[in-house]
């Protein structure tokens, strides 16, 4: 065999952290606020992969260009149409929520991307993406994706009580935040309930859907649970503070990692950014949405959050504001310290 040609690797400081999201219907604003939170806190360059309906493409392009240049230089963005490479596109489109199944095809579509963080539109970063990106280095030789459990306690978890299909572990997985080594996914043959020899990711998707489509409730998330039920060695499980949802506090606090370290990634599922059921989640969303880019983070983001949280103390989630604020505070201090060091260094030369 001829020796494989090695491509020169760009230095780590220049490498992109790849972030993918799928936006359909009325998810434009939510997606932009998620991307804003990513840009606000991250230090390394970001590459956004936005999969959107054709009608949303010009709106994304216009809105992202309106951001100040000090932020637009921190990322590049690619906008793709919704496409499904195998099976019936209309069926995939209707699975759970419009276009959500698109995420299953990322390894096939983004052939030149090695690793990727996929998030739902209703996610907010409360610390740099750099920190979750580092978890890729913690994968062992068989792990190719990372997700958090759907619940911390089996007795009140959805999968353990209601699922009619195989699922991962004792509580299943939530796929709203999913870190993927796409190179490994593309080169792996997965065990499954269809044929004994193993199938590639692309070969497996449609037959698996056909087999279980009458038993799945949460669409693509259920398919991922089925895949990792048969291939548990392929999954790295990260703790709940990386995918913190209302379930972690609305029945009393049950995410120990968030109590100790603070929430790293907030996932406002069940539409909580847009109704009054979980005012703590809504407050975070609205304060990040309204933050003027060039303003002082403490002045225009941290202090408004503190005062908004005072109005939520009557709720179970609102009783633990430090859980939501801890990582933001830490990140802001780091940003401030870096600026001071740069400023002092610049002055020191004269």
pLDDT, greater one: 250 or 164: 250
Shared domain for 122 and 216, answered yes or no, is: yes
Pair of tokens at residue 331 = 């990140």
Q: Which two tokens stand for residue 165?
A: 């299909």
Is the pLDDT assigned to residue 32 strictly greater than 50?
A: yes
Range of the domain at 171: 17-238
pLDDT at 152: 77
CA distances from 180 to 16, 107, 149, 166, 333 (A): 14, 9, 16, 21, 30
33, 115: one domain: yes
Report the predicted TM-score, pTM, of the whole model to 2 decimal places: 0.91
What is the share, in percent, of the chain residues with pLDDT greater than 90?
Answer: 64
| Strand pairing report for 235-237 and 145-149 | parallel
pLDDT of 5 > 50? The answer is no
Asked which of 8-17, 214-223, 278-287 is least confident by mean pLDDT, the reply is: 8-17
Q: Which tens digit of pLDDT belongs to each residue from 104-145? A: 999 999 999 999 999 999 999 999 999 999 999 999 999 999
Residues pairing with 147 in the sheet = 237
Q: Are residue 71 and residue 181 in the same domain, yes or no?
A: yes
pLDDT of residue 2: 39
DSSP string of 11-60, one letter each residue: PTTTPPEEEEEEE-TT-HHHHHHHHHHHHHH--S-EEEEEEE-GGGHHHH
DSSP β-bridge partners for residue 49: 20, 78
Domain boundary among 238, 271, 298: 238
Paired tokens of 197: 């020899």
Question: Is 4 a residue whose pLDDT tops 70?
Answer: no
Supply the pLDDT for residue 93. Answer: 67
Burial category of 329 from C-beta neighbours within 10 Å (exposed 0-12, middle 13-18, buried 19 and up): middle
Residue 129 lies in a domain: yes
Same domain for 283 and 307?
A: yes
Query: Is 176 in contact with 190 (CB distance < 8 Å)?
Result: no
For residue 217, tell me if it sits in a domain. Answer: yes
Mean pLDDT of the residues in the chain: 87
User: Per residue in 174-216, pLDDT tens?
Assistant: 999 999 999 999 999 999 888 888 999 999 988 888 888 887 7
């Amino acid at each position: 065999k001829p020796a494989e040609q090695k491509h020169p690797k760009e230095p780590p400081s220049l490498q992109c952290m790849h972030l993918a999201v799928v936006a359909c219907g009325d998810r434009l604003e939510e997606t932009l606020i998620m991307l804003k939170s990513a840009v606000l806190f991250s230090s390394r360059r970001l590459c956004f992969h936005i999969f959107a309906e054709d009608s949303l493409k010009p709106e994304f392009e216009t809105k992202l260009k309106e951001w100040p240049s000090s932020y637009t230089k921190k990322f590049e963005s690619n906008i793709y149409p919704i496409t499904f490479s195998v099976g019936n596109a209309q069926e995939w489109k209707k699975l759970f929520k419009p276009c959500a199944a698109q995420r299953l095809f990322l390894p096939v579509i983004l052939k030149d991307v090695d690793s990727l963080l996929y998030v739902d539109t209703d996610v907010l970063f409360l610390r740099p993406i750099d920190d979750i990106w580092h978890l890729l280095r913690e994968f062992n030789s068989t792990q190719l994706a990372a997700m958090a459990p759907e619940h911390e306690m089996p007795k009140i978890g959805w999968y353990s009580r209601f699922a009619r299909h195989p699922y991962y572990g004792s509580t299943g997985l939530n796929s709203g935040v999913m870190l993927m080594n796409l190179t490994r996914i593309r080169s792996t043959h997965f065990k499954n309930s269809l044929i004994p020899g193993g199938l590639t990711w692309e070969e497996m998707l449609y037959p698996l859907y056909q087999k279980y489509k009458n038993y799945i409730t949460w669409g693509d998330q259920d398919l991922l649970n089925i895949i990792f039920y048969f291939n548990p060695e392929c999954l790295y499980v990260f703790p709940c503070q990386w995918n913190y949802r209302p379930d972690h506090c609305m029945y009393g606090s049950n995410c120990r990692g968030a109590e100790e370290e603070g929430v790293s990634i907030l996932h406002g599922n069940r539409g909580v950014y847009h109704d009054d059921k979980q005012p703590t989640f809504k407050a975070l969303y609205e304060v990040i949405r309204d933050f003027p880019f060039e303003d002082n983070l403490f002045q225009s983001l941290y202090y408004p959050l503190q005062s908004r949280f005072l109005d939520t103390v009557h709720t179970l989630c609102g009783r633990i504001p430090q859980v939501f604020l801890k990582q933001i505070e830490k990140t802001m201090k780091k940003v401030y310290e870096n600026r001071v060091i740069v400023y002092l260094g610049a002055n020191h030369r004269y």
